[in-house]
Amino acid sequence: MYVAVKGGARAIANAHAWLDAARRGDRDVPELGTDQIREQLALAVDRVMAEGSLYDPDLAALALKQARGDTIEAVFLIRAYRTTLPRFGVTLPVQTDKMDLSRRISATYKDAPGGQVLGPTFDYTHRLLDFGLAAGREVPPARQADTALDPAPHILSHLGGEGLMQAEPEGAGAVPDLTRDPLEFPAERALRLQALARGDEGFLLSLAYSTQRGYGRNHAFVGELRIGTVRVSAQLPELGFDIEFAEIVLTECESVNQFQGSKTEPAQFTRGYGLVFGQSERKAISMALVDRALRAEEMGEDVSGAPAQDAEFVLSHCDNIQSSGFLEHIKLPHYVDFQAELELVRKMRRAAGADAVPDAAE
Amino acid sequence: MTESDPRRAWMGLLARAKGVQLDRLWPDAPPPFDWLRRPDQGSMMVQGRAGAVGAAFNLGEVTVTRASVRLACGSVGHALVQGLDARKAERAALLDALLQTQAHDDLAARVLKPLRMAEAEAREARAKRAAATKVDFFTMARGDA
């Protein structure tokens, strides 16, 4: 148990002044602007928006600067700021089939209608350090084709048309919101998806990998991975119509998994789903695999006790702010607790006849 | 199509624009107006759908600012804009009010048209960059057929 303590005000003030100075670093090096972070460390900004669960690149860039590049600390700053913003309403569900694509690939269909579009990917790079970047080499503009890419339908909609893909049920009733109501189990899929969308990328990556290695057998293909820009619409209550008030970048992954069928359903493919703010395909693929693993019971699959199939385990531990909050609180003063334990250990040793050990603390 | 369609379009266009764009295209001093709602920062919860087509779920929030004004002539303008730029929300609400008056044609030409073109150009450039990364598969010749 943490017991409140007083004192140390001067030490704290000096520690924070040092933090400010340390953040600035060597003053012979120009200070980093938040616009530079937003533009040139865009994927770090995206991760902070995704796990902070608040889409605002400028705020995320500021949070990264303030956190000295510590992603989880930046996410913490964004989450804290988010709680100060009144919620005006809810948007219409984003239409990812109308996405302006920058990337769209399928691992299941070579000749997917709309094509395989690589976008600005790290794939096929050699992962050799580019010392030219350190030397400030000129970067030519990206090449453009003569004709623009059209929006493309979801690849899995073609399987759905044949009845080979399990239909996605419409939601019934209010959409659950874990920012308003505490997480409760069993958690319906909409709640699970919300938790996963803001969950820690590293945690979800590990869980997704565990399913691939056999902890919850769940062989997934990436049916489609798409990254691009979507318009966000909301109803204006004053006016009775909706406007496209925002434009955001999203990454979406639909995994395809086999389903043996049941008494009521023929054999077909099923889907895992990942949707993440910003450009973050590692997170989106991980989310899709974990989403599918969490559907094991619903699919009547062998639930072997694998961590990724356990909603309570996954959802209670995927939030890095909740996790680090509890983890890091143990570094705060626990003097009274520890004194009690110390007394207890001494008493037990005395009882066991170990009194000969000198009691250095006294 | 309804009467509100052009207004829907311009409200969206103004909402998605950058504050500096609005200031550059419409540097004019605003006409006299009353606040119905001073710029008010907040968020909207963005929803997605499970499997892109199924049940709605809460994906995360996006920052917004809203504002409402009434001009001396009685025209009322509203804005719900992306981001936390209070000045942008104010300018968007004023433009929404003015676009419902006789100033419409002038402002549509000076502000809406350039915004629409800039947005279309940015979209097209991105779509052309994407198209340049589209894979052309070719089948490797196998055997000696």
Query: DSSP per residue over B43-57, as a string?
Result: EEEEEEEGGGTSSEE
To the nearest 10 degrees (0 to 180), the angle between helices A281-293 and A189-197 is 150
- Count interface pairs A-B at CB distance under 8 A: 243
Distances (CA, A) of A95 to A222, A223, B49, B53: 20, 18, 8, 8
Pseudo-torsion of CA A198, A199, A202, A207, nearest 10°?
Answer: -140
Judge: B50–A168 Cβ closer than 8 Å, yes or no: yes
Mutation site, B5, B43, B46, interface A, largest A CB count within 10 A = B46
Which chain B residues have a beta carbon less than 8 Å from that of A86?
40, 42-43
Q: Where are chain A's structural domains?
A: 9-82, 96-123+147-168+175-324
Q: Which one-letter DSSP state was computed for residue A247? A: E
Residues 8-47, chain B, touching A (beta carbon < 8 A): 8, 11-12, 15-16, 40-47
The single residue listed with the structure tokens 């001494």 is: A346
> Do residues A229 and A119 make contact, with C-beta atoms less than 8 angstroms apart?
no
> Is A32 buried (19+), middle (13-18) or exposed (0-12) by CB count in 10 A?
middle
**Cβ contact, residue pair B42, A59, below 8 Å:** no
Kindly report whether the peptide bond that precedes residue A151 is cis, defined as omega within 30 degrees of 0: no
- For residue B17, the distance in angstroms to the closest alpha carbon of chain A comes to 9
Neighbours of A175 (CB within 10 A): 17
Residue of B nearest to A86 (CA): B42
Beta-carbon separation of A190 and B84 below 8 A: no
CB contact at 8 A, A288 and A255: yes
> Mutating which of B2, B21, B57, B129 best tests the A interface, going by the most A Cβ atoms within 10 A?
B57
For position B138, what pLDDT does the model report?
67
ipTM of the prediction: 0.93
Q: Round to whole Å and give the CA distance between A247 and A231.
A: 4
Q: pLDDT tens digits, residue range B64-75? A: 999 999 999 999
- Integer Cα distance of A216 and A125 in angstroms: 32
Among A101, A232, A294, most B C-beta atoms within 10 A, so best to mutate, is A232
pLDDT recorded at residue A167: 87
Q: Residue B145 pLDDT > 50, yes or no? A: no
Contact A35, A61 (CB under 8 A): yes
Residue A217 CB: number of other CB atoms within 10 A?
15
Give the integer Cα–Cα distance in Å for A212 and A272.
14
User: Which residues of chain A have a CB within 8 Å of the CB of B39?
Assistant: none
Q: Which residue in B54, B61, B128 is closest to A148 by CB distance?
A: B128
Pick from B41, B51, B60: which is nearest to A54 by CB? Answer: B60
Whose CA is closest to A294, among A328, A257, A340, A347? A257
- Identify each DSSP E strand in A173-240 by its residue range: 220-236
SS3 B144: coil
Residues 54-93 of B with CB under 8 A from A: 54-64, 66, 68, 78, 80-84
Residue B112: band (very low, low, confident or very high) from pLDDT cuts 50, 70, 90: very high
Nearest-neighbour CA in chain A from B92: distance (Å): 11
Best CA proximity match to B28, nearest among B103, B115, B118: B103
**Closest CA–CA distance from residue A270 to any residue of chain B (Å):** 10
* Paired residues of B78 in beta bridges: B68
CA distance A299 to chain B (A): 16
Residue of A151, A193, A269, A254 whose CA lies nearest to B52: A254
Q: Is the pLDDT of residue B3 over 80?
A: no
pLDDT of residue B1: 43
Q: Is A315 in contact with A291 (CB distance < 8 Å)? A: no
List B41's β-bridge partners, or say none: B65
Rounded mean pLDDT, B2-8: 79
The whole-angstrom distance between B78's CA and the closest CA on chain A is 8
Q: Is A80 on the interface with B (CB under 8 A)?
A: no
For helices A320-329 and A71-82, the axis angle rounded to 10 degrees is 110
Interface subset of A 278-317, CB within 8 angstroms of B: none
What order of strands is seen across the sheet that includes strand A100-105?
Answer: A100-105, A220-236, A241-259, A268-277
Are B80 and A245 a contacting pair at CB < 8 A? Answer: yes
Low-confidence residues in chain A, pLDDT < 70: 1-5, 355-362
Residues of chain B neighbouring A93 (CB-CB closer than 8 A): 47-49, 56
Q: Among A91, A165, A198, pick the best mutation site for testing chain B contact (most B Cβ within 10 A).
A: A91
Nearest residue, CB atoms, B80 vs list A111, A234, A254: A234
- B40/B31 Cα distance (integer angstroms): 21
Chain B contact probe: residue of A82, A98, A183, A245 with most B CBs at under 10 A: A245
Residues in chain A with CB shorter than 8 Å from the CB of B133 are: 103, 117-121
Residue B103: which of B10, B21, B39 has the closest Cα?
A: B10
**What single DSSP character describes residue B138?**
-
Task: Give the minimum alpha-carbon distance from B137 to chain A in angstroms, rounded to a whole number.
Answer: 8
> Are residues B51 and A101, on separate chains, in Cβ contact within 8 Å?
no
Taking alpha carbons only, the member of B136, B134, B117, B128 closest to residue A148 is B128
